Amino acid sequence: MNEKRPNTVRRFEDWLIDWLPHGSGIDGIWLHEFTRGGILVLKNNWHYMNEVGMYDGWYAFSVRVDLHLKDFRIVVHGLRTARDRNRMEGVKEYLYDLFNPVLEEAGLI
């Protein structure tokens, strides 16, 4: 971590590490950025399994938190086929259920 960053930024980054979900398919490193419009974008990857329970690949996803509207949405990137889209529908619902209490407790929504 860059020690020259302001304390509030360091505390926020520590919060990201402590509070954002890890495991159960979310196996990547969390990245974050703020947009000019007051959107916090959290990025990671979903490690999905095939029909026999073996890890079979990754989908990138982002959680876009609108800090003004106190709302969020999940965007899954790289869904090229109908099979990809169908596979991720249940995962997207799972991610909403996972993030809603985390973001509420943090006061972001």
For 15-43, write each residue's pLDDT tens digit.
Answer: 777 788 888 889 888 998 888 888 999 99
Rounded CA-CA distance 90/97 in Å is: 11
Rounded CA-CA distance 89/83 in Å is: 10
Q: Which residues in the chain show pLDDT less than 70?
A: 1-10
pTM of the model: 0.81
> What pLDDT, on a 0 to 100 scale, did the predictor assign at position 75?
92
Rounded CA-CA distance 5/41 in Å is: 19
Rounded CA-CA distance 74/42 in Å is: 10
Q: Which two tokens stand for residue 87?
A: 């596979």
Rounded CA-CA distance 103/109 in Å is: 6
